[in-house]
Structure 1
Amino acid sequence: MGSDVMGSDALLNPGLPVRVFAWIMLAFLMAPVLIIIPVSFSSAQYLSFPPPGFSLQWYERFLGNKDWLAAIWVSIQVATLSAVLTVIIATLAAIPLVRSDFSRKTLIYGLLLAPMIVPVIITAIALYFIFARIGMGGTVIAIAIGHTIVVMPIAVVVLSATLQGVDSRLENAAMSLGASRFQAFRRVTLPLIAPGIISAGLFAFLTSFDELVIPLFLGGPNAQTLAVRIWNSVMLEIEPTIAAVSTFLIALTVLIMVAANLLKKARRWA
């Protein structure tokens, strides 16, 4: 009996070895970030760590190059459009999946989650043939649609879970007081699921901004995203400019996550 109690206590209090292992894994995951940031400020003409000196030359080369700036602008367009499409479609899909009961519900839910199982390269090849046939290859819209398909499953899961936490009787109460179904959704349900919508939109934006395979197949000379520009640069030359671009992406991700956290706190205080 005493040994059982001690065993349960050990499970509840994993102790020092587990905490040490967790910190080692965290350090392992953070090591590339802790290396790439100093390298981006290196005065050397090649990738080296530790850097021999401090210099902003690689940021000047990155932000002063029209090709890099054009790639950033394309990525912003693609990521914004993908986030908007993802939020709209995922919301419209999550509402009937959560609030309705119909015979093909499991099948439709499985189809929406299929992109999680199918390799991205298979999706990219299929979309390449489709968009090439209709003359949309190499466009921002084509890349955004491809990213929307890839991100859609996670967005549907997030919004479905959010909707399940909202009592449908609140909508019924609003409609009983004279509101239409659309008014009840817009004024009651939509504000309640706003955190889920924000989370899904941010996830879609960040995933689209960093995704490489879809733009490789669907992009073109006039629609080269930042991820593709990085890929081409790595294939052709190795210099600390790549470290500066990587640091820029890390900073962008951190800023977006901080902004999202502040927005959620502001909504909670409102």
Structure 2
Amino acid sequence: MSLVKSSFKSSERMIIVCLLAPVLILFLFGYIVPLVNLIIKSFMNDSGWTIQQYVELASSKAFIWVAFKTVTLAAVVTVICLLVAYPLAYSISRSPRWLAILLLFLVTLPYLTSILIRSYAWIVLLSPNGVINRALMSWGITSEPIRMVFNATGVYIGMVQVQLPLMVFPLYAAIVKINRGLTRAAQSLGSPPSDAFLRVTLPLSMPGIMSGCTLVFLSCLGFYVTPALLGGVDDYLIAQSISTRVLVLGDFKAAAAQSTLLLAAVVVMFIIWRRRLAEELDEQSREMLSEKRGCDAIGLSLRSSLVERLATSLQVPYIRLHAIFSPVRLVVLALLSIFTVTLLVLPFVVVIPLAFSNASYLTFPPPSYSMRWFNSFFRNSDWIEALGFSLRMAGIASIISICVGLPAAFALVRNRFSGRLSIYLLLISPLIVPHVIMAVALFFTLSGTAMIGSSTAFGVAYATIGIPYTLVVFVAGLKRFDRNLERAAASLGAQYRTILRTVTLPLLLPTLVSAGLFSFIAGFDDVVFGLFLSGPGATPLPMRMWDNIRLEISPQIAVIAVLFLATLLVLGAIRQLVLFMHARPRVGPAELTRPV
């Protein structure tokens, strides 16, 4: 008996190894080895091991100031995103189904759209003769244009707009799970609606607040594109510092040291919040969080909140204040939600008409309309070659991500083994680790080889940043999968391969499409890897866009924005078609076994 159990466990371990081996091998050579090489390089000089680079950074007032500005930017953007996103997330959770779907689509659209396109749109919106300045002057708020771009103001506005979806999604996921009967119970006991929100809804949504703040803060620490395009000379952050030392100064050792310090900061925070980031996979942590939320909801928390203590000491004015605010709360909530949605979609309102402008320069609104910029795009071989390269590489990387991500998700969701949570955190860590660090590490590893400026380098890079998206989507899909369908097929004598082909994969088809879409966009929209890995025969479309925005700022980018949005609509239509076909009634086991 023990021999049988031992043989079964050995077979199970072999299956887990086979499922995880492809993704771990890819991560080993495309992610782990480059990062280790980067860290080693930061401790090396011509004479051997040294900490000289770190000593110089610690004594450099310029680097300390850059690091301080980076952390300050990340913290301020996180707070602003929380304040702006919470009303919208709350409104979505309380909206009718059709309106909630529409609002979630409007939140998702910017997340799926190129950061370069959105940054380009903000240059148009915030320029001295842009829409916002003209509106402020026409309303009499200002008498002359306000400088809002190529400075800190532009960076903060652009960063908040880019990071908002990362805050809205966790908040919505947390708020929608809250039992609305709890707030009604509080109101039935005499608590005004706004007071019930502070006492019940806000504390119970704290997991979403913490998750959203963690994602936004970590993402901001190493963000490169928006600060580089919308900021000025004084808005120099650590990601730009690393890039400048590699691409301009050729100071590789200092760049390695700065990258290692930024990586260490991100890894520390990643470890601290690992339970929150792996909540979808880690049932134990989710149960502990649910129990804590349940205790708080029924008043069993041992510590009273700050709101509770203030309410007790200032009971009368506190209740009067809520009585004044409660009647207008819905109006305030609606106005704040409209403001957030406007902030999310405003770049698209501007950039689409620009694609059809007849002007030879950037101006909004366009003086007249034509297809001249579309004709210019399709006649330019450089743009077409870059577009073809990006489509090819992003498509290949998406296929690789699905092929190695799906087996890994099966291994992680359907098996319990030592190190399971650690492997999951490793595989989703590229979502958190700044791409500038990964790109510099890959550049150092491949420098001096023929892979720099090759399709292979981009394939590995795009697959590495696409796998976390596919893994997260697959894990969520497998957690929701009803395994009774597989058991029913097995009870009818079907082999495992037959079950996988005829039951499991067809039911997971919508998940496969979603995973492929997200991983494709992750590679197609990337700029940072293009800065370090591009070559004469390997120049992705984002690099052409990057050069155009920095050197020319023509309506050509608006054409790409329209094509990008059209592609998204086509892919979205395909996904909806798959969902529709997937929802059609199927002949089940009962019908197959029913006598004729």
1:68 aligns with 2:255: no
Residue pair 1:79, 1:205 contacting (<8 A) in 2 also: yes
1:217 corresponds to 2:532:
yes
Q: Does 1:262 align with 2:577?
A: yes
1:43 to 353, 358, 371: 358
Amino acid at match of 1:70: E
Q: Is the 8 A contact 2:351 2:558 kept in 1?
A: yes
Distance in 2, matches of 1:34 and 1:170, equals: 46
Q: Distance in 1 between matches of 2:483 and 2:574?
A: 30
Question: What is the alpha-carbon distance in structure 2 between the residues aligned to residue 130 and residue 192 of structure 1?
Answer: 41
Q: 1:206, 1:253 within 8 Å by CA — same for their partners in 2?
A: no
Q: Answer yes or no: is the 8 Å Cα contact 1:40–1:241 preserved in 2.
A: yes
Seen in structure 2, the aligned counterparts of structure 1 residues 259 and 188 have a Cα distance that, compared at 3 Å, is closer
Work out whether residues 409 and 475 of structure 2, in 8 Å CA contact, stay in contact via their aligned partners in 1. yes
Aligned to 1:174: 489
Structure 1 position 196 matched with structure 2 position 511:
yes
* Root mean square deviation, CA, Å: 2.2
Whether 1:236 and 2:551 are equivalent positions in the alignment is yes
Deviations 1:77-129 (A, max 9, x none): 01110110111111011001011111111111111111122111111112223
Could you tell me whether the CA contact under 8 Å between 1:68 and 1:226 is conserved in 2?
Answer: yes
In structure 2, what is the Cα distance between the partners aligned to 1:267 and 1:134?
Answer: 47
Equivalent in the alignment of 2:191? 4
Q: Distance in 1 between matches of 2:385 and 2:537?
A: 9
Name which structure has the greater RCO, CA cutoff 8 Å, separation 6+: 1
Residue of structure 1 aligned with 2:420, choices 100, 105, 109: 105
Alpha-carbon distance, 1:258 to partner? 2.5
Given candidates 389, 393, 402, the residue that maps to 1:87 is 402
Q: What letter matches 2:466 in structure 1?
A: V
Q: 1:133: Cα distance to partner?
A: 5.4
- TM-fit CA distance, 1:167: 3.2
Which range moved further: 198-207 or 248-257?
248-257
Contact 2:406 2:471 in 1 (8 A): yes
Q: Which residue of 2 aligns with 1:58?
A: 373
Q: Which runs of 5+ in 1 are unaligned?
A: none
- Superposed, 1:129-144 pairs within 5 Å as 129-132=444-447, 135-144=450-459
For residue 9 of structure 1, report the CA deviation from its aligned partner: 8.5
Q: Report the CA distance between 1:184 and its aligned residue.
A: 2.0
TM-score (norm 1): 0.91
Correspondence 1:252 to 2:567: yes
Distance across 2 between alignment mates of 1:144 and 1:18: 45
In 1, distance between residues paired with 2:532 and 2:488? Answer: 50
Taking a change above 3 Å as real, the CA distance of residues 170 and 2 of structure 1, as seen in their structure-2 partners, is closer
- How many residues align structurally? 270
Q: Distance in 2 between matches of 1:267 and 1:181?
A: 22
Q: Relative to structure 2, which stretch is displaced further, 148-157 or 4-13?
A: 4-13
1:174 alignment partner AA: A
Worse-matched range after superposition: 135-144 or 101-110: 135-144
* Residue 134 of structure 1, CA deviation: 5.0
Letter in 1 for 2:190: S
CA offset at residue 229 of structure 1?
Answer: 0.9
2:466–2:520 Cα contact (<8 Å) kept: no
Partner of 1:147: 462
Letter in 2 for 1:36: V
Change (3 A) 1:133 1:90: farther
Identify the range of structure 1 (170-179 vs 184-193) with the bigger mean alpha-carbon deviation.
170-179
Contact 1:77 1:140 in 2 (8 A): no
Name the structure 1 match of 2:52.
none
Q: Which stretch of structure 1 is more off in the superposition, 123-132 or 186-195? A: 123-132
Larger radius of gyration: 2
- Deviation at 1:8? 4.3
Amino acid paired to 1:60: N
Determine the C-alpha separation between the residues in 2 that align with 1:184 and 1:199: 22
The yes-or-no answer on 1:30 pairing with 2:217 is no
Q: 1:216 to 1:9 in 2, by over 3 A?
A: closer
Structure 2 gaps of 5+ residues are 1-187, 202-325, 586-596
- State the percentage of identical aligned residues: 34
**2:395 touches 2:520 (CA, 8 Å); kept in 1?**
yes
Letter of the 1:198 counterpart: V
Per the TM alignment, residue 182 of structure 1 is displaced from its structure 2 partner at its CA by: 2.5
Measured after TM superposition, the shift of residue 169 of structure 1 is 4.3
CA deviation map 1:180-213 (0-9, x unaligned): 3222222221112111111000111122211111
